[in-house]
Amino acid sequence: MRRLGTFLLGVMLLAGPAFAAPLAVLVEERARSDYADSLPPEGAFEITVKEPPKGEVLTLAEFWMDPRSGKFLANAVLETGDVQRIGGLALITLPVPVPTRRLLPDEIIMEDDLTVMRLPVGRVGAYVETEIEEVIGKQVRRVLTPGRPIQAQSIIHPLVISRGDRVEISFSDGLLALRSPGRALSDAHEGQEVRIVNLISNKTVTGIATGAGTVEIVQ
């Protein structure tokens, strides 16, 4: 190992002055190469080393990494010419919105209810919300815990109609406009289809929820 370090140090000195780079920078450069195209656009590395090197590191002579776990091993060439085996983790993290307080069902999520944390990519599943703009203004469907990622199925667009609500049904074809009372057979957010019973004809029809307690029949 010492001979390898001395040889590499000699090559570097022939090429010009050598300057020690921060170890985390050297590890990230090699890790990025291993991840290649699988690295998320907003991904950032958090580097941890089990045993710090016994001096300034000039380069990494060898580097091995498991992209799935983030575990790496490397031969670090020190200023002295020694080569030290180092290991640690190079974890990719992503910015994820998480609640700052416990949010209960039916609450509307406000900007002040959220903060952004960087979490290891392994904790960010396919159904985790990663865009804070997609969370603000949504209605809580299942209890949200502070500091935990928000699952897409745990939030919904705010409901403007709930099952059993009395609604006003409207219909217009440009020439004729009709209104009738009805009762909702399901929940709906604005713009969503909803089944309703016309309380005058006692027939079940499908319309579009246009606001709080209002449904439009579209031909």
Show me where the domains of the chain are located: 2-93, 95-156, 159-217
pLDDT average, residue stretch 11-23: 51
pLDDT-based confidence at residue 38 (cuts at 50, 70, 90)? confident
Rounded to two decimals, what is the model's pTM? Answer: 0.67
The fold for domain 95-156 equals Type Iii Antifreeze Protein Isoform Hplc 12 (3.90.1210)
Cβ–Cβ < 8 Å for 148, 195: no
pLDDT-based confidence at residue 6 (cuts at 50, 70, 90)? very low
Q: Could you confirm whether domain 159-217 is CATH 2.30.30.760?
A: yes
CB count, 10 Å around CB of 146?
12
List the single range of 25-39, 51-65, 102-116, 170-184 with lowest mean pLDDT: 25-39
CB count, 10 Å around CB of 120?
13
Is the pLDDT at 11 greater than 50? The verdict is no
pLDDT-based confidence at residue 52 (cuts at 50, 70, 90)? confident
pLDDT average, residue stretch 93-112: 95
Quick one: which of 146, 8, 151 has its CA closest to 82? 8
3-state SS assignment for residue 127: coil
As a whole number of angstroms, the distance between CA 76 and CA 84 comes to 5
pLDDT in tens, 129-159: 999 999 999 999 999 999 999 999 999 999 9
Q: Please give the share of the chain, as a percent, with pLDDT higher than 90.
A: 57
Query: What local confidence, expressed as pLDDT, does residue 116 receive?
Result: 95
As a whole number of angstroms, the distance between CA 217 and CA 99 comes to 38
